[in-house]
Every structure is written in structure tokens, then in C-alpha cells.
Amino acid sequence: MAGLKEKLYDKILEWRPRTKKLLQDHSDVVVDQVTIGKLLGGMRGLKSLVTDISYLDPDEGIRFRGYTLQEVFEKLPKPQKSEMPYVEGLMHLLLTGDIPTRKEAEDLVDEFSKRRILPRYVYEVIDAYPCCSHPMAIFSSAILSMHRESFFKKKYEAGINKKDLWDPMFEDSLNLLAKLPEIATYIYAKLYRDGNRIQSNPNMDMGGNFAFMMGKEKPYDDVARMHFILHSDHESGNVSAHTGHLVASSLSDIYLSVSAMICGLAGPLHGLANQGVLMWLHELMDRLGGEDPTEEELTQYVWDTLNSGLVIPGYGHAVLRKTDPRYLLQREFSLKHLKDDKIFKYVDMLYKIVPPILQEQGKAKNPWPNVDAQSGVIQWHYGVREYDFYTVLFGIGRSIGICANVIWDRALMYPLERPKSLTTDMLEEITGIKKND
């Protein structure tokens, strides 16, 4: 992978003086204020992390390396006869900040193909799991089991200059990313296809090969490409991205970091919401005996959910204050490919019904749909109906962003993350509620 690595190294050498200057000359400049509200409110919105891979604007949504999602999908090279770009091209963009040429994207496709073979013990780890296990638990363990392969770990133990740590992190990241579709589809075959697995095709790109191993025809290859690209990064503060970065800050390798981030992604307020949407919609269908709901019935269902103290899955966001562009892109695809799908029609009705209800309820700061409101429906349409599996798909995508971030963390030699905690007594003393006697 000499071409990409050399390009990346040039970028790293160019970037390092910027970080160094900020640290040396402007270290005391105040960026944000830490209030008690932030401390007790999950640090929501606190400007306390740095990443150059993506930036999330509350109104506009995500930009990858400065490009809007629309631009990313337009500009990245696409495989022949595909609507969606190479996922490998996105990795090139996230790493270098440059839109790759077709050749650069295809070089990375070849590289992934060479690195995709799983060690035998990974299959054994997956096989050892009891069948009722959630696929995210298996996914995280399978990734963790490959820690012993880490080139980063070996280099660190042998003694390597801190400045060079990005290089083995880069190698490990490519090795891991290339293997994720193999791991995920093996888990899928074990849990839902009686172990009947389709071997990978070394001549295909990541999205195409994933579709092939899932046993899916076109346009599922484009669904996979779109899904992995859309879910890859959402700046650094979300649970999965932050976990990956935090764990790697202790100089843990990429296997440990990505395995941990998968655990964070598996929570219902984060990546699991995409399966939550489908479960919630199927409960409604059962309630209506399979009949299409009227607007009144749907409205009642939304209120019943809220009144029983539950959240509406797929709606709201900690940062976004408008409809998530990742939702809109998937909606555009759905309008083209699955406009007559029954569940898509539900989802489309909800798009009109839920926001005014959340506004009327007055709690959620963002009443609009997020990425998870739409993604499961597309999977369902193409026959991936085991919705426990949906978060694994999110996890493959998110790993791309984590790897790009962690490689740059090492390139810029970011330190161990270690904020300071206080006690409730201390907060009460600061506020004057409790006098220090």
C-alpha cells in the first residue's frame, strides 16, 4: 500500500506543525466553558475533542473532510454499473482529505482483498457463542480475538519512536477493515442461516463482496456501499467514535479499540435504534392485524409510546437540529427503489406525523428523524429481516471512521485522554449550596 501510505505521510508531516503551534503558542486560549449543566448533562455540546476527519453542523449535518454527503456521493469513484461509490474510496478520503482517483480507490480495493482472510480461530470464537447471543456481542468478541495479530502491539513492545506509531496503526487498520465483512457475514450465517456460508469473492470491492457473501442480488451491493459510507463517521463525540478514540489513547491497538467501540454502538440510544425502529413498527403492524394504519392510528401509537415513557426510535439527536442528511439520502434511495414497500410507507407517514408530536410534547430538542429511522427498512426490503443484525452493519461502517481517526491520533501524537472528575459535594461547595466547614 505504498502509494496511499506515502501520501498520508506527506499529509502528516504538513499537519504536525499546525498542532504543535496551537499547543506551544495558544495552549491557554479558552474554547468553551464547563458548567455544572454540562457536567451533569452528559457533556452535551461541550467543545472538548479535536478531529479533522468529519465535522457535524447542527443544521447542515455531517461533512466528511469538508465535503457534504451529497458531494461525497457525487465525487467518489464508483464501480462499473453502480449507483454508489467504492467504500474504499471513502477510506482514502477520510485518511488523506483528498477525493481519490479511480485508480487510487481500486488500489485500496485490491489491498483489502489481499488482507481479507480470517485466522481460523476467529471462526472458532464465533462458533463458540451460544445461538441466542446478540450479534453485536459476537462481533465485538471476534474483533477482540484478533488482538494477538496486532502489528502495532508488536512494534510497541519492540520499542518504536512515538512519531512512527501511526504506521503500524495504519497497517492494523487496513487488516481489520478488510476482514469485517467476512466476520459479519459469518456471524449472519451462523445465527440465521444454519451456518450456510458463502465464501468471499476476491475480485469484488467491499460493498459488492459483502452483498455477495450475504447472498443478495443487485442493488444490495449499492445498499451496502451506501450504508457503510453513511455510517462511517459523525465527528468524535458520539459514544462509538469517542470510545474508539479513548481506548486508543492508552496506546491500545485497533482491535481493542474497535471491539470497545462496537460495545458502545450496541446501546439502544445509539446504534441499536435502527433495530428499535423496526421492532416498534412491527408491534404496530401486529396491533393493527397487518392492516395499513390511518394517520389517526399512527398518531395514537406515537402518543401511546411517549405516554408510556418510551422514546420514539429513530427520532431526535444530541447534536443535529434538522432532519439528518443521512436519513434524507436513504429516503432518496428508498423513493427510487422501494416506494411501494409497505414498511417504507409507514416510515414516510411517520416523517410527517412524529415531528409535530415531539414538538407538541416539548421535550426533545430535535424532533426530526436521524439515520436510524430509515436504514432498517431498506435492509428489511432486501430480505435482511433479522433486525438484531442491523447494528452490525452500522458497526462495519463506523469502524472506517474510527480507524481513520485513530491513525491520525497517533500521527499527531495525541496524548492519553484523562479528564478530571469531581464529587457532588465539591459541586455543592462551588455553587454555595453547601458551605465548606
Contacting residues toward ligand CMX, per CB under 6 A: 44, 238, 269-271, 273, 306, 311-318, 363-366, 370-372
CB of 270 to ligand CMX, least distance (A): 4
Residue length of the chain? 437
Which one of the listed residues 92, 227, 242, 270 is annotated catalytic?
A: 270
CB of 183 to ligand CMX, least distance (A): 21
Please say which residue, 200 or 334, places its beta carbon nearer to ligand CMX.
334
Rg (CA), the chain: 22
Residue 375: in which H helix or E strand, if any? helix 372-381
Please say which residue, 77 or 271, places its beta carbon nearer to ligand CMX.
271
Phi and psi at residue 386, to the nearest 5°: -90, 90
Which one of the listed residues 317, 324, 381, 409 is annotated catalytic?
A: 317
**Residue 372 designated active-site:** yes
Residue 386 CA to residue 376 CA, distance in Å, equals: 10
Residue 190: in which H helix or E strand, if any? helix 166-192
CB of 175 to ligand CMX, least distance (A): 27
CB of 393 to ligand CMX, least distance (A): 12
CB of 309 to ligand CMX, least distance (A): 8
Which grid coordinates are listed for 427? 459541586
Residue 181 CA to residue 269 CA, distance in Å, equals: 24
Which grid coordinates are listed for 341? 414497500
**Residue 317 designated active-site:** yes
Please say which residue, 78 or 326, places its beta carbon nearer to ligand CMX.
326
Please say which residue, 247 or 371, places its beta carbon nearer to ligand CMX.
371
Residue 374 CA to residue 269 CA, distance in Å, equals: 16
Residue 209 CA to residue 285 CA, distance in Å, equals: 34
Please say which residue, 189 or 306, places its beta carbon nearer to ligand CMX.
306
Residue 264: in which H helix or E strand, if any? helix 254-265
Indicate if the alpha-carbon torsion angle 231, 75, 3, 109 is positive or negative.
Answer: positive
CB of 22 to ligand CMX, least distance (A): 29
Phi and psi at residue 61, to the nearest 5°: 95, -165
Please say which residue, 224 or 364, places its beta carbon nearer to ligand CMX.
364
Kindly report each contact of residues 241-247 with a partner whose C-beta sits within 8 Å and lies 24 or more positions away, as own/partner: 241/51, 241/398, 241/401, 241/402, 241/405, 242/49, 244/402, 244/405, 244/406, 245/49, 245/51, 245/402, 245/405, 245/406, 245/409, 245/417, 246/417
CB of 56 to ligand CMX, least distance (A): 11
Q: What is the DSSP secondary-structure string of 229-257? A: HHTS---S-SHHHHHHHHHHHTT--HHHH
Cβ–Cβ under 8 Å, residues 191 and 353:
no
Active site residues: 270, 317, 372
